[in-house]
Structure 1
Amino acid sequence: MTQSSMRLAGLALIVGAGLAATTAQAQDKGTVNLSYVEWSSTVASTNVMRAVLEQAGYEVKMSSLSAAAMWQSVATGDTDAFLAGWLPTTHEDYYAKLQDQLVDTGVNLDGTKLGLVVPAYSEVDSIADLNEHADDFDNKLTGIDPGAGIMRLTDKVIDAYDLDLNLQSGSGATMTAALKSAIDNHEDIAVTGWTPHWMFARWDLKYLDDPKNVYGGAEQIHTIVRQGLKEDMPEAYAILDAFEWTAEDMGEVMLMNQEEDSDPYENAKQWVEEHQDMVQEWLPES
């Protein structure tokens, strides 16, 4: 072997050893368990956080749960965190019951809204006017999964306005499918909606006025973690604590996820790669 070849071989061994050490270090960081609900907003944020934590060297597992189970899983320590705490109104019952068993790291997205949403062409502008047009809406409101906070609030809306419309539960996917079908046929439909959501980018929609303010004002989305995470995984906790983006950022990812045959995880990795300036603000200084 020539002297040059020996130098190259030695360099290869050094590089290989460095990569092995880096891999071992990443593996030693452990696994972060994220829980989430199959809402388009939460799918987007959770996959982005998965990609960011993986970039930092963690393994990440994701568990799809109902809203109630999501809160409970972090309170019991079965999962480490979720990024979908809609406060102060939507999830107020869960928070009031479990706040002493978990940690609220603060806001990751500001300026959300929820309420009843109809196509912009609808003649109805207020929840108070729905009874006069109940037949146009087939005497129903189209909702999402029954454990969602917006469904609880919509039950209160029905009582507060004495509505003659029944709330039908389903999922985020069945709700948007029903919305698409109604718009394609230029029919009236009222759905439980929230911002940010990709449906506002796809269709011309409007919120119905809520003069009794049952749905409340603008909300914030909080990151909720289990007790002890800061001590067990201080770097992972710091990343979760620092995570903050805008409705426009989330909207980019949600729209990517609506493309045919798209993979939310692959879309999140692409978004993270293209927004490294923002991502670096979430990562602790090495």
Structure 2
Amino acid sequence: MKRTKRIVATLALAAATAVGLSACMPPGYYGATGNVANGDQKSMSIVVFNGWDEDTAASQLWKYVLDQKGYDVQLTNADVAPAYQGLSSGDYDVVLDTWLPNTHKQYMDKYGDQLTDLGAWNEQASLELAVPEYSKIDSIEDLKANASDFGNKIIGIEPAAGETAVVQDEVIPQYGLGSMDFITSSTPAMLADLKASIAKKEDVVVTLWRPHWAYDAFPIKDLEDPKGALGKNEEIHTIAKKDFASDFPQAAKWMQDFTMDSDTLYSLENALVNSGAKASEYPAITKKWASEHQDYVDSLTSSK
């Protein structure tokens, strides 16, 4: 009898201790080891490239979709290089914005053995040099002779971005633009410069890419690239850590089947990053956008 009482007391103490510990744990703690109904791990970390608006849109969409399915999705912003390093070490689970075969080739060459390619979700991607529609030039070949009209500057984005390397290593030498200043800082700074220049009807040349909401927001055109220095059209791939499919077998299948055309992407990008909204408002905006595109959103996880 005494032994039975001791066992009951021990079990009660253990239960009380567990309850007490759970009250001290941060939200989502048990999701790190627990599973959702389909067998996937509950907690997922999506890394989002700083300044890449299509990445922000796709990541917010998948956070919404997966959260609705019972996952606990954390979005973490990072620059491109540390993002791939974190994926290779398993610190992050997945990124939705790898451009192949050119833009992010250096990172796939370096970390590819530790990563999993879940496939392309957009096949309409391209790197561009863009100017206002009123600019008198139509080709990168014309830029050197008219450099003074553009303040002798090419306005770039983040220094570590794949496009920055392409412009620096391919475009500038192939077109003899070494005398122009290639200014790199951030995507928001480039867009601010573009907006300000157009407002003043001044010439400006910026590094840009398709798909991007700027093509809907500003009267701009792409410069022709007869030398092909910017590379051929690319695909946007979902890249995950090596063991992603074993940790998230169902989510891996959904993401492998994920497709999003540029028009659909533009509409979500515009609702988010071109609306003047704060990042803290993105979940609510994504929820509203999803309700307006319910058939598409449902298709991402239906019958798969």
Once the two structures are overlaid, the 10-residue window that deviates more, 274-283 or 82-91, is 274-283
Q: Decide whether the 8 Å contact of 2:102 with 2:231 is kept in 1.
A: yes
Offset, 1:210 = 1.0
For residues 267 and 186 of structure 2, the distance between their equivalents in structure 1, rounded to whole angstroms, comes to: 22
Is there any run of 5+ residues in structure 1 with no aligned partner, and where?
1-22
- Name 2:18's counterpart in structure 1: none
Q: Secondary structure at the match of 1:52?
A: helix
1:119 aligns with 2:118: no
Pairing 1:3-14 to 2, within 5 Å after superposition: none
Q: Map Cα deviations across residues 136-163 of structure 1 (whole Å, 9 max, x no partner).
A: 1111100111111110011021111111
Pairing 1:107-146 to 2, within 5 Å after superposition: 107-146=120-159
For residues 90 and 25 of structure 1, the distance between their equivalents in structure 2, rounded to whole angstroms, comes to: 35
Correspondence for 1:202 among 207, 214, 217: 217
Correspondence for 2:56 among 36, 39, 43: 43
1:280 aligns with 2:298: yes
Pairing 1:123-272 to 2, within 5 Å after superposition: 123-155=136-168, 156-163=170-177, 164-257=179-272, 258-261=274-277, 263-272=281-290
How many percent identity over aligned positions? 33
Correspondence for 1:68 among 71, 81, 89: 81
Q: Map Cα deviations across residues 206-258 of structure 1 (whole Å, 9 max, x no partner).
A: 11111110111211100001111111121222222222111111100111121
- Name 1:13's counterpart in structure 2: none
For residues 260 and 131 of structure 1, the distance between their equivalents in structure 2, rounded to whole angstroms, comes to: 35
For residues 230 and 68 of structure 2, the distance between their equivalents in structure 1, rounded to whole angstroms, comes to: 38
Q: Decide whether the 8 Å contact of 1:112 with 1:221 is kept in 2.
A: yes
Question: Please, what TM-score do these two structures have when normalized by structure 2?
Answer: 0.82
Alignment: residue pair count:
264
Q: Decide whether the 8 Å contact of 1:56 with 1:283 is kept in 2.
A: no
Q: Secondary structure at the match of 2:44?
A: strand
Pairing 1:6-45 to 2, within 5 Å after superposition: 26=36, 29-38=41-50, 39-45=52-58
- Name 2:14's counterpart in structure 1: none
Q: Map Cα deviations across residues 57-107 of structure 1 (whole Å, 9 max, x no partner).
A: 100111101111222211111100010010111111111222111000101
- Name 1:58's counterpart in structure 2: 71
Q: Map Cα deviations across residues 97-150 of structure 1 (whole Å, 9 max, x no partner).
A: 221110001011111111210001001111111111111111110011111111
Question: Please, what TM-score do these two structures have when normalized by structure 1?
Answer: 0.87
Amino acid at match of 1:142: I
Is there any run of 5+ residues in structure 2 with no aligned partner, and where?
1-30
Large movers: runs of 4+ above 6 Å: none
